[in-house]
Amino acid sequence: MSVELSERPAPPAPREITTQPRRSDQIFRIVVTIGGMASLVILGLIALFLSIKGLHILTEEKLGFITGSAWEVITDDTGSIAESKFGIGAMLVGTFLSAMIAILVGVPISVLSALYLTFYANGKVKKFLISVIDLMAAFPSLLFGFWGFFVFMSSAEYWAKLINKYLGFIPFFDVPTPIFERSPFIAGLVLAIMIIPIVTSISREIFDQTPLDRIQAAYALGATRLAMIKAVVIPFGRGGIIGGAMLGLGRAMGETVAVYTVLNVVYQINWQILFGAGGNVASLILLKFGEAGPAEVDALMAAGLVLFILTLLVNAVADLLINRFGGKGR
Amino acid sequence: MTQTIPTPQRPWQPSKTDRFETLGVLVASFVLAGLTVEFTGLNGKLGFVVSLFFSLLILNYGFYFQKQGKAAAKDSLLQVFTVMAIVLTLIPITSIIATVVSKGYKGLHWGILTKDMALASVNDPIVAGGLGHALVGTILMVGGALIISFPIGVLTALYLTEIRGPLTRPIRFLVQAMSGVPSIVAGLFILSSLVYPVTKALSGMMGSLALTILMIPTIARTAEEMLILIPNELREAGVALGGTQWRTVAGVILPAAKSGLVTAIILGIARIIGETAPLLLVTGGGDALNLNPTEGAMGSLPYYIWKSFLTGGTPEAFARAWAGMLVLLSFIFILFGLARYLSGRKVG
Query: Quick one: pLDDT at residue B207?
Result: 92
Residues B133, B162, single domain; the answer is: yes
Query: Quick one: pLDDT at residue B347?
Result: 46
Pick from A72-76, B70-74, B223-227, B263-267: least confident: A72-76
pLDDT per residue as tens digits for the range B64-75: 898 888 888 998
Q: Say if residue B163's pLDDT is above 70.
A: yes
Query: Quick one: pLDDT at residue A55?
Result: 85
The residue among B47, B73, B106 that closes a domain is: B106
- Say yes or no for a CB contact (<8 Å) between A147 and B158: no
Residue B120 lies in a domain: no
Residues B63, B198, single domain; the answer is: no
- Min Cα distance A184 → chain B (Å) is 19
Residues B130, B101, single domain; the answer is: no
Exposed/middle/buried for A181, CB within 10 Å: 0-12, 13-18, 19+?
middle
Q: Say if residue B24's pLDDT is above 80.
A: yes
Query: Per-residue confidence at B210, pLDDT binned at 50, 70, 90?
Result: very high
User: Which residue range is the domain that position B32 belongs to?
Assistant: 20-106
Q: Give the total residue count for chain A.
A: 330
Query: Quick one: pLDDT at residue A40?
Result: 92
Q: Say if residue B158's pLDDT is above 80.
A: yes
Chain centre to alpha carbon of residue A261 = 19
As a whole number of angstroms, the distance between CA B215 and CA B208 comes to 10
- Number of structural domains (chain B) is 2
For residue B103, give Cα distances in angstroms to A144, A161, B324. 15, 28, 11
Touching A: B residues 81-100, CB under 8 Å: 81-86, 88-90, 92-93, 95-96, 99-100
As a whole number of angstroms, the distance between CA B301 and CA A143 comes to 12
- Min Cα distance A1 → chain B (Å) is 38
| One-letter amino acid for residue A170 of the chain | I
- Say yes or no for a CB contact (<8 Å) between A116 and B86: yes
- Say yes or no for a CB contact (<8 Å) between B321 and A146: yes
Asked if B270 reaches chain A (Cβ–Cβ under 8 Å), the answer is yes
Mean pLDDT (chain B) is: 87
Residue B340 lies in a domain: yes
DSSP string, A293-326: -HHHHHHHHHHHHHHHHHHHHHHHHHHHHHHHHT
Query: Quick one: pLDDT at residue B32?
Result: 86
The residue among B106, B136, B166 that closes a domain is: B106
Residues B241, B295, single domain; the answer is: yes
CA angle A98, A99, A105 (to 5 degrees): 90
pLDDT per residue as tens digits for the range B233-252: 999 999 899 888 899 999 99
Query: Per-residue confidence at A318, pLDDT binned at 50, 70, 90?
Result: confident
Q: Which of B156, B217, B340 minimises the CB distance to A35?
A: B156
Q: Mutate which of A122, A142, A265 to test chain B, going by most B C-beta atoms within 10 A?
A: A142
Residues B132, B102, single domain; the answer is: no
pLDDT per residue as tens digits for the range B316-346: 888 888 999 999 999 889 988 888 887 766 5
Residue B257 lies in a domain: yes
Q: How far apart are the first and last CA of chain A?
A: 77
The residue among B106, B137, B172 that closes a domain is: B106
Among chain A residues, CA nearest to B327: A143
- Half-sphere exposure of B12 toward its Cβ, with a 13 Å CA cutoff? 5
Coil, helix or strand at residue A71: strand
Mean pLDDT (chain A) is: 85
Among chain B residues, CA nearest to A26: B246
Query: Per-residue confidence at B4, pLDDT binned at 50, 70, 90?
Result: confident
Residue B62 lies in a domain: yes
Q: Mutate which of B82, B244, B304, B326 to test chain A, going by most A C-beta atoms within 10 A?
A: B82
Residue B111 lies in a domain: no
Residue B10 lies in a domain: no
How many CB atoms lie under 10 A from the CB of residue A298?
A: 22
pLDDT per residue as tens digits for the range A179-201: 888 888 999 999 999 999 989 98
Residues B100, B152, single domain; the answer is: no
Structural domains in chain A, sorted by start: 86-325 (1.10.3720.10)
pLDDT per residue as tens digits for the range B272-284: 998 899 999 888 8
As a whole number of angstroms, the distance between CA B346 and CA B292 comes to 40
What radius of gyration, in Å, describes the C-alpha atoms of chain A? 28
Residues B180, B328, single domain; the answer is: yes
Residues B234, B253 contacting (CB under 8 angstroms):
yes
Query: Quick one: pLDDT at residue A158?
Result: 87
Q: Say if residue A111's pLDDT is above 60.
A: yes
Q: Mutate which of B87, B167, B174 to test chain A, going by most A C-beta atoms within 10 A?
A: B174
Residues A50, A308 contacting (CB under 8 angstroms):
yes
Residue B2 lies in a domain: no
Coil, helix or strand at residue A85: strand
Residues B101, B196, single domain; the answer is: no
pLDDT per residue as tens digits for the range A1-39: 555 666 677 788 877 777 788 888 899 999 999 998 988
Residues B204, B137 contacting (CB under 8 angstroms):
yes
pLDDT per residue as tens digits for the range B76-87: 899 999 999 999
As a whole number of angstroms, the distance between CA A61 and CA B100 comes to 45
DSSP string, B44-111: HHHHHHHHHHHHHHHHHHHHHHHHH-HHHHHHHHHHHHHHHHHHHHHHHHHHHHHHHHHHHGGG--TT
- Say yes or no for a CB contact (<8 Å) between A32 and B155: yes
Residues B101, B240, single domain; the answer is: no
- Say yes or no for a CB contact (<8 Å) between B325 and A143: yes
Query: Quick one: pLDDT at residue A213?
Result: 92
Residues B82, B164, single domain; the answer is: no
Query: Quick one: pLDDT at residue A144?
Result: 92
- Min Cα distance B242 → chain A (Å) is 12
Residues B92, B139, single domain; the answer is: no
B12 DSSP assignment? T
pLDDT per residue as tens digits for the range B30-65: 888 888 877 776 667 778 888 888 888 888 899 989
Q: Cβ contacts (< 8 Å) between A150 and chain B: which residues?
A: 99
Coil, helix or strand at residue A263: coil
Closest CA to A137 of A198, A79, A179: A198
Q: Mutate which of B84, B90, B213, B246 to test chain A, going by most A C-beta atoms within 10 A?
A: B246
Among chain B residues, CA nearest to A140: B274
Mean pLDDT of B117-142: 84
The percent of residues above 70 in pLDDT, for chain B, comes to: 97
Residues A274, A159 contacting (CB under 8 angstroms):
no
Q: What is the CATH number of the domain that holds B252?
A: 1.10.3720.10
As a whole number of angstroms, the distance between CA A60 and CA A75 comes to 18
Query: Quick one: pLDDT at residue B91?
Result: 92
Residues B86, B132, single domain; the answer is: no
Residues A119, A230 contacting (CB under 8 angstroms):
no
- Min Cα distance A4 → chain B (Å) is 34
Residue B161 lies in a domain: yes
